[in-house]
Amino acid sequence: MLRVECEEHGNTLAVQLQGRFVANFAEDAMATLTRFKNSPNITVDLSDITFVDEAGESVLLWMRTLGANFIAEQSYALSICERLHLPLVDKSARFTGCREN
């Protein structure tokens, strides 16, 4: 199961992913993100991700092409970011929660 929470803060879209970022869940998350077309800056918090499969990795790489920056505060998420060369932001950028508009 995957939970995707999104919130727009000015010109930044904050996205928090929680759970398993796999197959159809990852594709659904991508569809959700395409609805937020007016946010030039994207910050994706992967701190609560428990597993990422090949489809999830593809979506993370797609997010990177959009210019997304990533937050990873645990070892699994950090290893995903390192392996996929996802740009990290510092911990002070972590948001406390968000809701889809």
- pLDDT tens digits, residue range 31-59? 988 887 677 899 999 999 999 999 999 99
* pLDDT given at position 57: 97
Q: Of 71, 72, 70, nearest to 62 (Cα)?
A: 70
Which segments of the chain have a pLDDT < 70?
A: 37, 90-101
The reported pLDDT for the residue numbered 80 is 97
Q: Note the pLDDT of residue 39.
A: 72
Report phi then psi at 38, rounded to 5: -95, 10
Domain 2-93 has CATH 3.40.640.10: no
